[in-house]
Structures are given as C-alpha cells and as structure tokens.
Amino acid sequence: MPATAEHGIVPAHFAVKGMRRSGYRNPAYAISSLIDNSLGAGASNIEVLCGEREIQLDYRPVRSIRKLAILDDGNGMDPETLRKALQFGNGPHFELEHQNGLAKFGVGLPNSSFSLCRRVDVWSWQDGVQEALHTHLDLDAILDKEMSSVPYPTPKPVPELWRRAGDTFDKSGTLVVWSNPDRLIWKSARGFVRKSEGLLGRVYRRFLADGRVQIRMHSFDLDAPEQRDGIDKYVEANDPLYLMEDTSCPFKEEPMFEQWGSTYEIPISRGGEEDEVRVTVSVAKEEARSMPQAGAKEHGRHAAKN
C-alpha cells in the first residue's frame, strides 16, 4: 500500500497541537523570532503593525488586536524558499551553520505564528511589491486534516489594508500577517507596545544603537487604516548594563552605570567545540543613586524593570 500524508512519522494535525504549547515566554519573544528572520534577510527597516477593532466585552466596548503583522525590507524570498519558510524544521536558514545566532533553526515562522494565532499569511517579493508571492497556513484546516502541506506560493497582491498601514514597501521585502490571535495575552495595541518595546530594545540594542536597523511599532483601526491616529513610535535601544549612550533610559546625558572590574572570560566546551562566555559587571554611578529616593525616580524604575 503506498504511503500517504496520514502515514507520516508525525502527523501534521498532531504536531501543531504540541507546537502551540512549546511556547514563547510572552508575545514579544514570538515577535522577536520573526525579527530574527528579517535581520537574517538583511532588513534595515522592520515594522510591527497592530490592527485593532472595537469589540464588546463585559457590557463595555474595548479595543482589541485582531491582526498582527511584521513588515520588512529584507531580501524577500523566491517560491521555494517561501514555501520552506512555513515548514516546521525546514526554514531557509536551517542548514546554514553561521547565522550569527539569527533564525538558524528553521522553526521560527510557523512555531511563533501558531503560538499566538490560528492563521498566518505571508507575502514576499524580490522585484517590487507588485510582484509579491503569497502562501499561508491555517491551523483549523490542519486540525481538520484538510491541509497537510504548505500551498505552493502564487502571485497575489498585498492587501490594500497593509499597504495603507505600513511604510516599508521597498523593492524587496516580506510581510507576515497573523490572524485570529486566540493566545495573545496583551489584548490592546497600547498594552502590546508598552510590554514589547523594552524587550525588543534589549534584544536588538546593538543593531538599534549603531543604526543597522529601525523597528517601528504602529497601531491602527482595521476599519479605517488610513487614519494615522494610533500609536506610531520607534523602538529605542535598551541596555541592561546601562553602559551605552542614547538609549531608552531617562538618564540620557551619559551612561547611567560604569563597568566594575574587568570582563571575565570563561572557556567552555560545547559539542566538541571550544567557546567562551564573557561576563561584564556594571554598577550605578554615584550621581544616579545618590539623589533622594533614586529608585522611585524615572531612571530608577527603568533599572528595576531590567
């Protein structure tokens, strides 16, 4: 009897259930998985777009995120690469050994997507956005055994909704859209941005500080995307050691901390290869901690969060 999709070592409908629980600590970590992909594709402009809609909750209307998207101006993907990007464990960087730690495991796009939502659509282009290719994954179709493979990418225009909301539509790029976010713990765009920007600023602080990338966070009304009255801000570098200048720390005139002692280098052996862990210690400067109730001031609260 010939093998079929139902005879796979791990049936798709069973695998995605487990992968939804394999989870990220919070939605910001799921977003950072896609930003890793964007940086790996050479993007210098990345946008996190939050589409909100008013819903009725407990007898009162509230604004809630109904779609999330990541837009970049990276290299884009050809049809085969785009299709592989939506396969678990077979992303475009899976076989590359030297990716500077970014997007090399091949699970980021589908795993992060289904950790938060029930459908992911991807558009990617390499010769103008009018030449965009599209494919998708639908969780409910997979669970119902109606989808067992990634559809081959086909030409499809980027929806006007996203063309209005995003600014970064360059000659090449990628747009990932998450729909039906049933596992999003931060419901409103305001809460999502407030909770995410510190972590994104910390993870990508060196990229942000030296100008290699800009990360824009923007919220908009799904029913009126042309109205630019939502959140629109750029993520600032967030240095947990407080040794960098011009970061999100309110103590902006100079670094708030200073290095204490030398950087320690600890050699380790991993998988037969030699590597090292570097440990740097910093301490708050006298002028940052000597003022009355320094910990309760804006810069003190910033340090407490980190």
pLDDT digits over 239-259, tens only? 999 999 999 999 877 899 999
pLDDT in tens, 113-137: 998 999 999 999 999 999 999 999 9
State in Å, rounded, how far the first CA of the chain is from the last one. Answer: 59
State the pLDDT at residue 98: 38
In this prediction, residues 200-214 reach a mean pLDDT of 96
Handedness of CA 26, 27, 29, 30 (dihedral sign): positive
Q: Specify the pLDDT at position 103.
A: 45
Higher per-residue pLDDT: 301 or 148? 301
pLDDT for 42-72, tens place per residue? 999 999 999 999 888 777 888 899 999 999 9
CB atoms < 10 A from the CB of 6, how many? 10
Of 225, 218, 231, 176, nearest to 49 by C-alpha is 218
Give pTM, 2 decimals.
0.88
Report the alpha-carbon distance of residue 284 to residue 302 in Å, rounded.
13
Q: Cβ distance 193 to 50 under 8 Å?
A: yes
| Residue 271's pLDDT band (cuts 50, 70, 90) | confident
- pLDDT of 97 reads 42
The per-residue pLDDT for 11 is 62
